[in-house]
Amino acid sequence: MNARDSILARVREALRGGSSSSSFAKATKDEHVAAGETRLADGSSEVRQVLPKVPDDFAGQVALFAERSDSLKTEFLACPDEAVASAQLKLLSDREGWESIAVPADSEIRALLTDVSITKLEVSRSTVKTDLEKVSAGITGCDALIAQTGSVLLTAKSGGGRALSVLPGHHVVIATSSQLVPDLPAAFELLERKYAPDFPSFMTFITGPSRTGDIERVLVLGAHGPRKLTVIMVGGEGAEK
Protein backbone atom coordinates (compact mmCIF):
# COMPACT_ATOMS: atom_id res chain seq x y z
CA MET A 1 0.00 0.00 0.00
CA ASN A 2 1.41 3.44 -0.85
CA ALA A 3 1.60 6.21 1.72
CA ARG A 4 -1.48 7.97 0.37
CA ASP A 5 -3.64 4.90 0.77
CA SER A 6 -2.25 3.99 4.14
CA ILE A 7 -2.73 7.49 5.54
CA LEU A 8 -6.30 7.61 4.25
CA ALA A 9 -6.94 4.14 5.63
CA ARG A 10 -5.63 5.18 9.03
CA VAL A 11 -7.78 8.32 8.95
CA ARG A 12 -10.89 6.26 8.20
CA GLU A 13 -10.04 3.67 10.80
CA ALA A 14 -9.44 6.40 13.41
CA LEU A 15 -12.72 8.12 12.62
CA ARG A 16 -14.65 4.90 13.10
CA GLY A 17 -13.67 5.22 16.75
CA GLY A 18 -16.55 7.67 17.21
CA SER A 19 -16.42 11.16 18.65
CA SER A 20 -17.00 10.64 22.33
CA SER A 21 -14.62 13.42 23.25
CA SER A 22 -16.03 15.76 25.81
CA SER A 23 -14.81 18.91 24.11
CA PHE A 24 -15.19 17.58 20.57
CA ALA A 25 -18.83 16.89 21.22
CA LYS A 26 -19.32 20.03 23.27
CA ALA A 27 -18.34 22.49 20.59
CA THR A 28 -20.63 20.96 18.03
CA LYS A 29 -23.50 20.93 20.48
CA ASP A 30 -22.87 24.54 21.26
CA GLU A 31 -25.97 26.62 20.74
CA HIS A 32 -24.21 28.90 18.29
CA VAL A 33 -23.54 26.05 15.93
CA ALA A 34 -26.46 23.84 16.82
CA ALA A 35 -27.65 23.54 13.28
CA GLY A 36 -24.39 21.87 12.32
CA GLU A 37 -22.80 21.53 8.96
CA THR A 38 -25.54 22.75 6.68
CA ARG A 39 -25.46 26.10 8.37
CA LEU A 40 -21.70 26.11 8.50
CA ALA A 41 -21.55 25.60 4.78
CA ASP A 42 -23.57 28.71 4.15
CA GLY A 43 -22.32 30.88 6.91
CA SER A 44 -20.81 34.09 5.65
CA SER A 45 -23.66 36.08 7.17
CA GLU A 46 -23.08 34.36 10.50
CA VAL A 47 -19.35 34.97 10.35
CA ARG A 48 -20.17 38.60 9.64
CA GLN A 49 -22.04 38.74 12.93
CA VAL A 50 -19.04 37.75 15.01
CA LEU A 51 -16.33 39.72 13.20
CA PRO A 52 -15.59 43.38 14.01
CA LYS A 53 -18.45 45.67 13.10
CA VAL A 54 -18.40 47.70 9.90
CA PRO A 55 -20.62 50.70 9.09
CA ASP A 56 -23.28 50.12 6.42
CA ASP A 57 -22.69 53.29 4.45
CA PHE A 58 -19.90 54.05 2.01
CA ALA A 59 -18.65 57.14 3.86
CA GLY A 60 -18.45 55.17 7.09
CA GLN A 61 -16.52 52.40 5.37
CA VAL A 62 -14.06 54.88 3.87
CA ALA A 63 -13.57 56.40 7.30
CA LEU A 64 -12.95 52.97 8.79
CA PHE A 65 -10.48 52.08 6.05
CA ALA A 66 -8.68 55.37 6.71
CA GLU A 67 -8.60 54.70 10.45
CA ARG A 68 -7.27 51.16 10.01
CA SER A 69 -4.68 52.42 7.51
CA ASP A 70 -3.52 55.00 9.98
CA SER A 71 -2.93 52.47 12.72
CA LEU A 72 -1.20 50.12 10.28
CA LYS A 73 1.05 52.91 8.96
CA THR A 74 -0.41 52.61 5.49
CA GLU A 75 -0.58 55.90 3.61
CA PHE A 76 -4.16 56.23 2.34
CA LEU A 77 -5.03 58.87 -0.26
CA ALA A 78 -8.65 59.22 -1.31
CA CYS A 79 -8.79 61.04 -4.66
CA PRO A 80 -12.12 62.23 -6.13
CA ASP A 81 -11.02 61.64 -9.73
CA GLU A 82 -8.18 60.48 -11.95
CA ALA A 83 -6.72 63.93 -12.40
CA VAL A 84 -6.23 64.26 -8.65
CA ALA A 85 -4.83 60.73 -8.43
CA SER A 86 -2.40 61.50 -11.20
CA ALA A 87 -1.26 64.65 -9.41
CA GLN A 88 -0.90 62.72 -6.14
CA LEU A 89 1.35 60.19 -7.85
CA LYS A 90 3.53 63.00 -9.16
CA LEU A 91 3.77 64.48 -5.65
CA LEU A 92 4.58 61.09 -4.22
CA SER A 93 7.30 60.54 -6.78
CA ASP A 94 8.89 63.91 -5.98
CA ARG A 95 8.56 63.53 -2.23
CA GLU A 96 10.10 60.08 -2.17
CA GLY A 97 12.72 60.92 -4.77
CA TRP A 98 11.84 57.95 -6.93
CA GLU A 99 14.40 57.11 -9.59
CA SER A 100 12.48 54.35 -11.31
CA ILE A 101 9.24 52.47 -10.88
CA ALA A 102 7.85 49.15 -12.01
CA VAL A 103 4.35 48.78 -13.41
CA PRO A 104 2.27 45.95 -14.81
CA ALA A 105 2.02 45.71 -18.60
CA ASP A 106 -1.07 46.89 -20.54
CA SER A 107 -2.68 48.62 -17.65
CA GLU A 108 -4.85 51.64 -17.08
CA ILE A 109 -2.45 52.46 -14.30
CA ARG A 110 0.04 53.72 -16.85
CA ALA A 111 -2.41 56.44 -17.85
CA LEU A 112 -2.21 57.87 -14.35
CA LEU A 113 1.56 57.98 -14.50
CA THR A 114 2.06 60.17 -17.53
CA ASP A 115 3.26 63.07 -15.37
CA VAL A 116 5.77 60.90 -13.59
CA SER A 117 8.67 61.16 -15.97
CA ILE A 118 11.12 58.58 -14.66
CA THR A 119 12.16 55.15 -15.88
CA LYS A 120 9.23 52.78 -15.91
CA LEU A 121 9.99 49.11 -15.90
CA GLU A 122 7.11 47.18 -17.37
CA VAL A 123 7.04 43.77 -15.73
CA SER A 124 6.79 40.73 -17.95
CA ARG A 125 7.91 37.12 -18.02
CA SER A 126 11.42 38.23 -18.88
CA THR A 127 11.75 40.72 -16.02
CA VAL A 128 14.89 40.00 -14.02
CA LYS A 129 14.30 39.82 -10.28
CA THR A 130 17.42 41.82 -9.45
CA ASP A 131 16.13 44.66 -11.64
CA LEU A 132 12.78 44.60 -9.96
CA GLU A 133 14.45 44.66 -6.58
CA LYS A 134 16.25 47.90 -7.46
CA VAL A 135 13.30 50.03 -8.53
CA SER A 136 12.10 52.68 -6.10
CA ALA A 137 8.47 51.56 -6.15
CA GLY A 138 6.13 48.96 -7.55
CA ILE A 139 2.72 50.23 -8.69
CA THR A 140 -0.14 47.76 -8.95
CA GLY A 141 -3.90 47.53 -9.14
CA CYS A 142 -5.88 45.30 -6.80
CA ASP A 143 -9.10 43.31 -6.51
CA ALA A 144 -10.57 44.99 -3.45
CA LEU A 145 -9.98 47.17 -0.41
CA ILE A 146 -11.40 45.83 2.84
CA ALA A 147 -12.76 48.47 5.21
CA GLN A 148 -12.92 46.15 8.22
CA THR A 149 -9.21 45.42 8.31
CA GLY A 150 -7.62 48.13 6.16
CA SER A 151 -6.42 45.42 3.80
CA VAL A 152 -5.72 45.34 0.08
CA LEU A 153 -6.78 42.18 -1.72
CA LEU A 154 -4.52 41.47 -4.63
CA THR A 155 -3.94 38.47 -6.89
CA ALA A 156 -1.37 37.37 -9.42
CA LYS A 157 -3.79 38.77 -12.03
CA SER A 158 -4.57 42.17 -10.53
CA GLY A 159 -1.17 42.69 -8.96
CA GLY A 160 1.07 42.18 -11.99
CA GLY A 161 2.24 38.79 -10.77
CA ARG A 162 3.67 37.80 -7.42
CA ALA A 163 6.90 39.76 -7.15
CA LEU A 164 5.91 43.30 -8.20
CA SER A 165 4.02 43.99 -4.98
CA VAL A 166 6.62 42.57 -2.61
CA LEU A 167 10.14 43.08 -3.99
CA PRO A 168 10.36 46.89 -4.41
CA GLY A 169 10.77 48.90 -1.21
CA HIS A 170 7.59 50.91 -1.72
CA HIS A 171 4.30 49.42 -2.90
CA VAL A 172 1.67 51.75 -4.34
CA VAL A 173 -1.83 50.38 -4.88
CA ILE A 174 -4.27 52.04 -7.24
CA ALA A 175 -7.88 51.19 -6.46
CA THR A 176 -11.24 52.60 -7.42
CA SER A 177 -13.78 53.54 -4.80
CA SER A 178 -16.15 50.89 -6.15
CA GLN A 179 -13.58 48.29 -5.08
CA LEU A 180 -14.07 49.06 -1.41
CA VAL A 181 -15.88 46.16 0.27
CA PRO A 182 -17.07 46.19 3.88
CA ASP A 183 -15.50 43.05 5.35
CA LEU A 184 -13.59 39.82 4.90
CA PRO A 185 -16.66 37.67 4.05
CA ALA A 186 -17.46 40.15 1.26
CA ALA A 187 -13.89 39.88 -0.01
CA PHE A 188 -14.17 36.10 -0.27
CA GLU A 189 -17.56 36.39 -1.96
CA LEU A 190 -15.94 38.72 -4.47
CA LEU A 191 -13.08 36.30 -5.14
CA GLU A 192 -15.52 33.47 -5.81
CA ARG A 193 -17.74 35.59 -8.01
CA LYS A 194 -14.83 36.93 -9.98
CA TYR A 195 -12.64 33.86 -10.41
CA ALA A 196 -14.17 30.52 -9.36
CA PRO A 197 -13.25 27.90 -10.34
CA ASP A 198 -10.15 29.30 -12.08
CA PHE A 199 -8.56 31.19 -9.23
CA PRO A 200 -5.21 32.89 -9.80
CA SER A 201 -2.34 30.79 -8.45
CA PHE A 202 -1.61 33.50 -5.89
CA MET A 203 -3.96 35.73 -3.89
CA THR A 204 -3.05 37.79 -0.85
CA PHE A 205 -4.51 40.16 1.71
CA ILE A 206 -1.98 42.92 2.31
CA THR A 207 -2.55 44.65 5.62
CA GLY A 208 -0.01 47.41 6.06
CA PRO A 209 3.65 47.56 5.10
CA SER A 210 5.88 44.56 5.91
CA ARG A 211 6.74 44.38 9.60
CA THR A 212 8.40 42.32 12.28
CA GLY A 213 8.51 42.25 16.04
CA ASP A 214 11.03 39.45 16.31
CA ILE A 215 13.60 41.51 18.20
CA GLU A 216 12.33 42.16 21.71
CA ARG A 217 8.81 42.56 20.27
CA VAL A 218 9.73 46.03 18.98
CA LEU A 219 7.82 46.90 15.81
CA VAL A 220 10.06 47.45 12.78
CA LEU A 221 8.64 48.18 9.33
CA GLY A 222 10.10 46.73 6.15
CA ALA A 223 11.29 43.37 7.39
CA HIS A 224 11.42 41.67 3.99
CA GLY A 225 8.62 43.19 1.99
CA PRO A 226 7.98 46.89 1.26
CA ARG A 227 8.80 49.40 3.97
CA LYS A 228 6.07 51.66 2.67
CA LEU A 229 2.57 51.01 1.44
CA THR A 230 0.47 53.70 -0.23
CA VAL A 231 -3.15 53.12 -1.21
CA ILE A 232 -4.66 55.55 -3.71
CA MET A 233 -8.42 55.26 -4.01
CA VAL A 234 -9.92 56.97 -7.04
CA GLY A 235 -13.56 58.10 -7.10
CA GLY A 236 -16.11 59.15 -4.54
CA GLU A 237 -18.78 56.51 -4.67
CA GLY A 238 -19.15 52.93 -3.58
CA ALA A 239 -20.10 49.99 -5.73
CA GLU A 240 -23.71 49.82 -6.87
CA LYS A 241 -25.65 47.66 -4.53
Nearer to another protein, 39 or 91 (CB): 39
Q: Give, as ranges, the residues between 120 and 149 that touch another protein (CB under 8 A).
A: 123-125, 127, 129-130, 133, 149
CA distance 230 to 241: 27
Give the contacts of 11 (CB within 8 A, at least 6 positions apart). Answer: none
Amino acid at 47: V
Which residue, among 133, 139, 136, has the nearest Cα to 152 in the 3D structure? 139
- Of the ranges 13-21, 83-91, 110-118, 173-181, which one interacts with another protein (CB under 8 A)? 13-21
Give the contacts of 184 (CB within 8 A, at least 6 positions apart). Answer: 47, 51, 146, 148, 149
If one asks whether residue 117 binds another protein (CB under 8 A), the answer comes out as: no
Q: Give, as ranges, the residues between 76 and 115 that touch another protein (CB under 8 A).
A: 105
If one asks whether residue 45 binds another protein (CB under 8 A), the answer comes out as: no
Q: Give, as ranges, the residues between 166 and 225 that touch another protein (CB under 8 A).
A: 166-167, 183-185, 187-189, 191-192, 196-197, 199-218, 220, 222-225
Please say whether the beta carbons of 208 and 71 come within 8 A.
no
Nearer to another protein, 125 or 241 (CB): 125
Give Cα 234 distance to the centre of its chain. Answer: 17
If one asks whether residue 28 binds another protein (CB under 8 A), the answer comes out as: yes
